[in-house]
Structure 1
């Protein structure tokens, strides 16, 4: 059976498949639908088998007979195909950034970002509480979400103590970074959003 989301599906095929599926779900036979809609059995069969282009009036009567609204009938037609990148746990691409030499591990969680780099999501792991950390400064806005551990995080002259579930959003051009790792290991999600100039 063809997929309703197949972009190559002709409109008549789409209508036929949708109508037949709904009729079968309702437990109705073609003869029942034809009688309720005031159509011939042959016409109902031809519509279901995509052998005829039907008028809106006929289609409306047919849909009424099987309890299908016109808006629902067309709700999936011509829907964009879509497609997302799934990154499984532990499968993010490991990248080297400032701080890597200090024991930070950076996993880039998305690699397909369109024509321009608009954002970068990282999973960052830190596990050495005795390290002195560098500060970072780069274009864009950054959002961090602490998943595990406790950290004292600096942004400019402000310090924020963060625990699991806490988040921080800030201008990434202002110097920022870990001030102290209070409880390790630390895992945090960092999403850097760039403006249109990147």
Structure 2
């Protein structure tokens, strides 16, 4: 796993943030520029870090985007922990309690520090005859199926999942594979523990 480095200049960082918030809201350059009373060309230069701009202009842009000015700068000093690259095949293999052959977890990413609140795994299941345990843990889990077909149990419910399907579930309710219909099955499992402390 490779951590990103704090190598963005402030202008680059601000430009990236403004563009991200604009695109998240589905706003066009021209729309934001007009409301903020700046030219479309100027906004494009700000987003691409081609100019340094005044706090007054940034304040107007933030107002248009509906975010506090402080939000633009809030994560600048923490960039080093904001990105983690795991190259194909390099994810650390993790053994989950109760799992046997044919069921592997590769840790893709997690938040750092003593109170980890986020983990993501690439889960591979290739033994259709295996009996799988149920899991229960704090937080919310998201499952995204990349390949294969599976019936997945969550409490008293059974969900039929195929490639491209996404299931979000409450982690404290017992859950796990009920039936492997078409193997191999590969899925992404992302767990958000919130304020819970995990080991």
Q: TM-score, normalised by structure 2?
A: 0.60
Provide the C-alpha distance between the structure 2 equivalents of 1:74 and 1:115, rounded to a whole number of angstroms.
Answer: 38
Residue 74 (1) aligns with residue 52 (2): yes
CA offset at residue 157 of structure 1?
0.5
User: In proportion to residue count, which structure has more strand?
Assistant: 2
Q: Is the 8 A contact 1:85 1:112 kept in 2?
A: no
- Please name the residue that 1:164 is paired with: 163
Provide the C-alpha distance between the structure 1 equivalents of 2:8 and 2:140, rounded to a whole number of angstroms.
Answer: 37
- Please name the residue that 1:138 is paired with: 137
How many aligned positions are there?
138
CA offset at residue 104 of structure 1?
0.9
CA offset at residue 86 of structure 1?
0.6
SS in 2 for 1:73: coil
CA offset at residue 5 of structure 1?
4.2
Distance 1:111 1:117, change over 3 A: same
Provide the C-alpha distance between the structure 1 equivalents of 2:188 and 2:196, rounded to a whole number of angstroms.
Answer: 24
CA offset at residue 111 of structure 1?
4.2
Distance 1:173 1:102, change over 3 A: farther
CA RMSD of aligned residues (A): 3.1
Point out where structure 1 has 5 or more consecutive residues left out of the alignment.
8-66
> What does residue range 60-71 of structure 1 map to in structure 2 within 5 Å?
none
SS in 1 for 2:147: strand
- Please name the residue that 2:149 is paired with: 150
- Please name the residue that 2:99 is paired with: 100
CA offset at residue 181 of structure 1?
0.3
CA offset at residue 87 of structure 1?
0.6
More deviation, 101-110/169-178: 101-110
Larger-Rg structure: 1
Q: Is the 8 A contact 2:145 2:163 kept in 1?
A: yes
SS in 2 for 1:177: strand
Distance 1:68 1:190, change over 3 A: closer
Point out where structure 2 has 5 or more consecutive residues left out of the alignment.
1-6, 11-40, 56-71
Q: Is the 8 A contact 1:100 1:106 kept in 2?
A: no
CA deviations 1:126-149 (Å, max 9, x no partner) are 000011111111111100000000
Q: Is the 8 A contact 2:110 2:118 kept in 1?
A: no
Q: Is the 8 A contact 2:127 2:183 kept in 1?
A: yes
> What does residue range 117-128 of structure 1 map to in structure 2 within 5 Å?
117-128=116-127
